[in-house]
Amino acid sequence: MTIAADAPRFHVLAVDDSITDRKLIERLLKTSSYQVTVVDSVSKALQFLGLLEDGTTATPPGQKEVDVNLIITDYCMPEMTGYDLLKKIKESSLLKDIPVVIMSSENVPSRINRCLEEGADEFFLKPVQLSDMKKLRPHILKGKAMDSNESTSTPSSSSKKKSWNEGILPEWTKTRLNLAWSFLSYFSSSTCNY
C-alpha cells in the first residue's frame, strides 16, 4: 500500500522502556504507514506532549502544539506506568480525546479492565503483531473525527467510561465472566505490581 505524498500521515507516540519492544513497535507502525515518535519513559512522553507531571500543560511560547493521533504505551515501566500516563492524558482538557492503547506482556484481567474503564481504547498483549497495528486505524480515525467535531459536539452518553464487556454480552454472561475474571485476578501472579 502506498500513500500519496500530500496525504496526511497519522502520528503515533509509542512509549516503552524496552528497546527491543520499542524497535518492534516502531517497525510495525512504520510498516502500517504511520509517522512514529518513540520514547522510553512516561516522563519523556509527558514532556513530548507538553504536560507537566501534575497534569498541567507546559508548551513553551512559540512552540506549536504536538499533533499526535494516537498513543500506544507499555503498562509496566519504572517510575510511572502506562496506566499513570493514561490517567494524565484523560485528565488533560487538551489531550483527553487522543486514543490511548495499552500493551503488556502480562495477561492480568483486573489490570486490563482497569485500563479500559479509565478510558483506554484497546489493550494489546505482547508481543504486538502486525494484525494488532491494523486495529489502530479506527481509533486514530475516531480521534481525528473528535478533533474536527470538537467545536460542534455536545456531551453525550458515549463519553462515559466503559467496561471491557459493556454492550457486547448478555447480562447473565457478564456476571459470570466478571466472577471468572475476579477469580483469575485473585490467583494470578504478576511480576509488575504497579
Say if residues 28 and 133 touch (Cβ distance below 8 Å). Answer: yes
* Residue 2 falls inside a structural domain: no
Segments forming the whole domain that contains residue 83:
11-151+159-164
Provide the CATH number for the domain around residue 146: 3.40.50.2300
Total domains, the chain:
1
pLDDT digit string, tens, across residues 99-121: 999 999 999 999 999 999 999 99
Give the neighbor-by-neighbor strand order of the sheet with 70-74.
35-39, 11-15, 70-74, 100-104, 122-125
Residue 4 pLDDT: 44
* Residue 26 falls inside a structural domain: yes
Reported as a pLDDT band with limits 50, 70 and 90, residue 139 is: confident
* Residue 86 falls inside a structural domain: yes
* Residue 181 falls inside a structural domain: no
Cell of 187: 490467583
* Residue 126 falls inside a structural domain: yes
Residue 160 pLDDT: 46
> What pTM was computed for the model?
0.69
Close Cβ partners of 164 (under 8 Å, ≥ 6 residues apart) = 112, 113, 116, 117, 123
* Residue 183 falls inside a structural domain: no
Distance of CA 180 to the CA centre of its chain: 25
DSSP string, 94-129: TTTTS-EEEEESS--HHHHHHHHHHT-SEEEESSP-
* Residue 53 falls inside a structural domain: yes
Residue 118 pLDDT: 96
* Residue 48 falls inside a structural domain: yes
